[in-house]
Each structure stands twice: as structure tokens, then as C-alpha cells.
Chain A
Amino acid sequence: MDLIANLSLGFGVAFTPINLLYALIGCLLGTLIGVLPGIGPVATIAMLLPATYALPPVSALIMLAGIYYGAQYGGSTTAILVNLPGESSSIVTCIDGYQMARQGRAGPALAAAGLGSFFAGCVGTLILAAFAPPLTELAFQFGPAEYFSLMILGLIGAVVLASGSLLKAIAMIILGLLMGLVGTDVNSGVARYSFNIPELTDGIGFVAVAMGVFGYGEIISNLALPEEHREVFTAKVQGLWPTKQDFKDMTPAVLRGTFLGSALGILPGGGALLASFAAYALEKKIKGKPGEVQFGKGNIRGVAGPESANNAGAQTSFIPLLTLGIPPNAVMALMVGAMTIHNVQPGPQVMSSNPELFWGLIASMWIGNAMLIVLNLPLIGIWIKLLTVPYRWLFPAIVLFCAIGVYTTNNSTFDIWLVAGFGFIGYAFNKLGMEPSPMMLGFILGPMMEENLRRALLLSRGDWSVFVTRGLSAGLLLAAGAMLVIVLLPSIRAKREEAFVED
């Protein structure tokens, strides 16, 4: 079996002491930051990325993946205990999780989230391992025209499946694409949008953009909110283990969540956020047994389903990244940036040219999930302590990490000015209701998209019809068009808005 051979290669890489250590550090740091309310996974990864510069590529990616799952787990802890989602994909976990905590059942809620996520993570990893090779085969048949169309599909998918205004999201993508083009044009050597600033001819660093818009933007928005009365259920976390009845209730929800999450994670723009919303909606639709606690009042299914789904989605969203080299969401866009920093060009060739990295990363995902369940359930007391640290001590530290981190990227103060500027812009986006995630995606895809467009047009001698005469490319474009049309239909539009309303 190829799958077994590949996975054993991966586990061989991931089980070296040094990589296990980095996976552990990644999970710890990710949970640590993820538990803090208001700092999402994108900001967390951007902040901690500089810590991986010195590592070899495999270890760096393993650590980053650990940070990502850690941030996800940490986010659900905050959601359940404080009713504040640590990141957007745990918004729905707040609804029933917090109610359970109020009834003194925080322990079972945390355990349901943890065990559900672990199960989903295992399944997600297997799916990733099974689907990656055939998809990679497919990717090798892609020419520049197909890649261009695929990116269009990915970007359209990302906005269609996201919440908020569709027009604004598309505008943000284009803004991101344009920002990605800043710097020297590879073909002609002409500096674009550099305004005679030498640092800008190298392009804008993605670390600066991500830290500014997500990190500083989130801090500023949090500080601008009036201080709310927060109730942290710290003393009441006893009896961690769910009862037999709890297990009976949550098992089908975990299975459904895992299935739904895995499917949605692969879609462009899917990933954890959409998966958790969809899973909650599904759980609500399915009739419970008589005498079951109502949804919104502390139903354990409302915790187990979405939490499994968001972890499964987080896992399978690596599939488009690792096989096609195309990030399906903002977190994966950061992973592309991280890979490029470590001189790994993401795409189908990673699997053949760098099998240790590819399978090692996949194996480490499973290890990371196993570590997280150990970190989160028995050590829950430590994370709860962290929640009682006042925000006024935390945010200067976060500002510092961002500032030092971005400085060490190029050892230049110019990046510090950039972060300051993007922090300001990030707050402005927040005020205007512009989602920054599509921009990040566009920013990473900009240069790739231009290169493929040019190559395709060069090969066809400037004939645009190449995008529709090649079957695969036409299919992808058609799918993108269909998505747009469907979303713009009035009946679907109402449904879409409904799906993102929390209760």
C-alpha cells in the first residue's frame, strides 16, 4: 500500500525528537495565543512566524501547523469559558458551550470539544494523506491557463462562501492582488508602485501586511470596544469527563461534523469558519431525542458538532495548498508565504521533490492533534489562569512581538513603518466593514496569477480564447461563474445571510 509506505515515511520524519519538540512548542505557543480573546489564527501565525526563520524547512512547517491547530483549540476554550470567541471559527461554540459552562458543565463541554476535534483531526489527516497523491497527479496536467482559471475559481469561492458584502469582498481581493504586484516586475525589471522607495522595489513583505492588518488591527478594534463585563468560569471546571449520556449524544454529532467539515475544508474559501457554521446549522436541524436540552441552552451536540467540523476543515484545507499550491483561505495564504521564506515553492512538485517535507508535515498533523488533547484536557487549569490576565498587560506584549518579529524578517526598520501603516489601514477596514481575509488571499495570489496569465497569453500569442478552449480551464471558469450567479440569486442570497446569523 502506497498510503502506508508514505505515512510511515512521514512518521519517520515527524517522530525525530527535534521535530516532536517543535511540534510541541508550536502547539503550546498556538494554544497560548489562541486562548487570548480577540487574536485569531492568522494574527497568531503572523506573529510567531519569525520564530521559525532559523529552523530547517520541515521543522518550521511542522511548528507552524502546530501553531495553527493550537490556536484553534485555544479559541474553543475561550469560547466555552468566557463566551468570547478566540477566533471566528469558534463563534458558534460560544452559544451552547458557554451555556454549559454556566450550568457547571464546562468540563464536559471542553472534553466534547477536545475529543471531537481530536477525532476529526485524525480523519482529516487520513483524508489528506489519501487524496493528496491523486490530486497531485491531476495538478501536473495543469498548464498556465488552467492555473489562472483555478485561481479565479479559488478567489471567487473564497468570497462566495465568506460572510459579509460580496462586492466589498471582491474589491478587497483586487486590492490584495494589486498590493501583491508592488515591486520589480520579473519580466521587464520595471519597478511598479515603488514611488522611488528602494525598499518597495522588493515588494511588500507579507509578514508586515498580516501583522499590521490582523495583529494590530485586531488589537486596536478590541481596545476601541467598551470594556465588557466578563465572567470567567474558572472555579467551576470540575468533573472533566462527560457522562455516558453525553457520549451517546455527542458521538453522532462528532461524526456528522467531521464529515461536513472535511468536505467543506477542501472547497476554496472553506476551511474552519464555514465548516463550524454549517455544522451548527445541521445539528440544529436534526431532531434530538425527547428530553434533550434545547439548542442555545447548553446542548452538547452544539459544541461537539461545530468543533469537530472546524478541526476537520482546518485539516483538509491543507489539501489544495499542498497539492495545487493554491491557498484556500487566509491562514493557508500565510503558510504559502512561510514556505516561500524557507525556499519551498508550494505546488504539486513538493510531493515528489520533497517527500520528507510533505509526508512529515502530514504525519505531524496527527501528532499535533494528539499532543493538543494532552495539552488541553489535563492542563486546562493553566489556560484558565491565562484568561484571568488582564488585557492591558497582554496587548503591549503583542505589539512588541509584532514589532520585533517584523524587524527580524529583513533586519530593516522599513518593515516596522509598514506594520504601523497597515495597522492603521486594518482599523479603517474594520470600521468600513471590509473583510481583510480576501485581501490577504489576493495578496499572496497576485504575483502567481499575473505570471500564469502572462504565460498563458504568451503561449497562445495573445489570444484570450485560450482560457475557454482548453477543457479543464473552461470548466473551472464555468464553475466560478456559476458560483457567482447562484450567490446573486435573491433566494440564495437570503439563505446565505441567514447561514451566518448566529442564532
Chain B
Amino acid sequence: MGPGYFPLMLGVLLALLGAVITFKAMVVETEDGEKVGKWIWRPVGYIVAANIAFGVLLGGLPSLGVPAMGMVIAIYALALIAAKAGTEFKLKEVLILATILVAGSYVTFIMLLKLQIQVWPAFITG
């Protein structure tokens, strides 16, 4: 009953199930067996990228020497990149939206909930 006991059991089960599912998907013909639809990269890429940009700008990457830029810049970056995921992109609209989000987040997270989040870049606040 070591640390690997339960994971091993589960792993074996999952491997078996995976094999059966794969076999059924490849071999058995079903009426509604449609192909996996086209993978649409645009929303996936931009949403994930927006999220990663937000993290890098908010907290910085100490291992690579990237300084933290704070919440305000991070939110602008997130809104700009995330908005690209949609079918329509109007720069002016997105900037207004981002400004509203910055103001809203400042009030909610910094003023009301008093969370410890860096707001401005490190080199400004010192």
C-alpha cells in the first residue's frame, strides 16, 4: 500500500478504457459517428494567450528577469488580446471596455476586497 498503489490501479483501468474507446472509435461503424469537427485555433489561441500575458505582466517572470508590470497594464493587455478571439474587433470599443474593467477591478479587488495585488509597475512604485 505505498503511494503508488491507488494511482497504479487507476492508471491500469484508464489505459484499458482508453484502449476500448479507441478501438470502438476506429473500428466500429456507427450511424452518428461523425468526425471530430475542425479545430478552431483562433479563440483557443487568443484566450490562452491573453491569460498567459496577464500572468506574465501581473506577476513578472523572476526566472527570466521579466519585471512585474502590475494589474492595470495586465488588464489592458488581457482585454486587447482576448477581444481578438471574437469575430469583431474594434480597437476603440476594446479600449473603453478595458478602461471600465480596470476601474471595476480596482474598486472591487483593491478597495473593497483589499487583495494584495500590485497595481502599477514595480519601477514606478519603487
Contacts and interface: CB of A to CB of B under 8 A. Distances in A.
A416 B52 contact: yes
Contact of B101 (A219, A227, A400, A411): A400
Interface string A154-198: 000000000000011011001101100100010110101100000
Contacts of B72: none
Nearest to B5: A454
Interface of B: 1-7, 10-11, 13-14, 17-18, 20-21, 24, 36-37, 39-40, 42-44, 47-48, 50-52, 54-56, 58-59, 71, 75, 78-79, 82-83, 85-88, 93-94, 97-98, 101, 105, 108-109, 113-117
A135 interface: no
Interface string A2-14: 0000000000000
Smallest CB-CB A-B distances: 7 pairs: A416-B55, A223-B43, A413-B59, A185-B3, A224-B40, A396-B82, A392-B86
Interface in A15-50: none
A168 B21 contact: yes
A167 B17 contact: yes
Contacts of B71: 404
B13 A399 contact: no
Given A220-B43, A420-B51, 7 more contacts: A51-B113, A174-B13, A181-B6, A185-B3, A190-B3, A192-B4, A395-B86
A32 B3 CA distance: 44
Main secondary structure of the interface of A (DSSP, over half): helix
A462 B55 CA distance: 47
Given A396-B83, A413-B58, A458-B1, A178 B10 contact: yes
A417 interface: yes
Contacts of B116: 411
Interface string A426-445: 01000110000000000000
A450 B6 contact: yes
Contacts of B93: 392-393
B14 A392 contact: no
A142 interface: no
Given A408-B115, A420-B48, A420-B52, A396 B78 contact: yes
A416 B14 CA distance: 28
Given A177-B10, A178-B11, A397-B101, A188 B2 contact: yes
Interface in A460-488: 462
A188 B86 contact: no
A174 B47 contact: no
A391 B18 contact: no
A427 B85 contact: no
A113 interface: no
